[in-house]
Amino acid sequence: MKHLLSAADLSVDEAILLLDTAAQMAATQSREIKKLPTLRGRTVVNLFFEDSTRTRISFETAAKRLSADVINFSAKGSSVSKGESLKDTALTLHAMGADAVVVRHWASGAPHQLAHSGWLGSVGNPVAVLNAGDGTHQHPTQSLLDAFTIRRHLVPDEGVGRDLKGLKVAIVGDVLHSRVARSNVNLLRTLGAEVTLVSPPTLLPVGVESWPCATSYSLDDTLRDWQPDAVMMLRVQRERMSGGAGGFFPSPLEYTRRYGLDQRRLAMLPEHAIVMHPGPMNRGLEISAQAADSPRSVIVEQVANGVAVRMAALYLLLAGGSSAEGTSI
């Protein structure tokens, strides 16, 4: 592995390698001493141009658990606020000796630009780039931790060495603005799961019919007739909606009535089904408190699994994996 930029670039073998490595990393985190010496002497930079809590802390924790040196960079309070370009920021990080850069950016494609522009590293000394979310495009480590969580709960023997064939996943909510939805559709289909997107027509992107999944406008029909094994609720991203949410659905109450996961809809799921959410949640909008805190919910576990998955990604990028040299995944 050279970079981790998009879930769409992962092959079945690469995805399973990442998930199996994450399982090994997760096993080490139950020990009294959780730290591993694997990346001692390496420097990982967290380059965040957007606000983040879970992803930034998760990547920082993952790097530190592998004994890497970590530098946290936030656009707020940096030279970016003075007009510094992405290129100059990248050149500065390279001059400081970064071995890997974890980047979150408001612009779709920014991590790809960093990885392939030549601003970071050289042919003989490459700098690994990990996409921590770019605009409404991709969030590969989120889809990996979601797949990891699904596999542990719904595949025998916690799914080690296995794909997700035969499983059904419903992704519900604001698909239009969601990089999580795009990444999950790519990765879950690669791993063999069936995916249905459930959303109001106004919150589905143009061209969604070309995606490798089904679509539905009715959450009740999907839960009752399709009986998904996992339901992934998406946050309504009002900050990305020009003019506010009013241009996409009549009111928050109407959205909750049609697309919110509550106690009644929870009862429609199969007994083994799990409830997921990438966070942060809008309790009372896309998911009720009863659903979020129910025994079916694995939302807190997703956060813990995120550390193991990101440890696996950093390990395979910086300590070597089985992919061909120079491959970007």
Question: Which residues belong to the active site?
Answer: 54-55, 82, 104, 139
142 among annotated binding-site residues: yes
Q: Is 153 known to sit in a ligand binding site? A: no
User: For residue 95, what is the DSSP state?
Assistant: H
Please tell me the distance from the alpha carbon of residue 227 to that of residue 222, in angstroms, as a whole number: 7
Nearest to 8 by CA among 112, 159, 110, 101: 112
What's CA 320's distance to the chain center, in Å?
Answer: 22
List all residues 6 or more positions away from 162 whose beta carbon is below 8 Å from its beta carbon.
16, 151, 155, 156
Separation in Å, CA 114 to CA 92, 149, 215, 325: 13, 30, 34, 19
**Residue 55 assigned as binding residue:** yes
Nearest alpha-carbon partner for 63 in 321, 306, 314, 319:
314
DSSP state of 328: B
| CA dist., res. 170 & res. 74, Å (int) | 34
Number of H helices, E strands in the chain: 11, 9
Residue 54 assigned as binding residue: yes
Instruction: Tell whether residue 152 is among the known ligand binding residues.
Output: no
DSSP-assigned letters across all residues of 150-200: HHHHHSGGGGTT---TT-EEEEES--TT-HHHHHHHHHHHHTT-EEEEE--
Is 279 among the annotated ligand-binding positions? yes
Binding residues for carbamoyl phosphate: 54-55, 104, 139, 142, 279-280
Binding residues for L-aspartate: 82, 179, 235
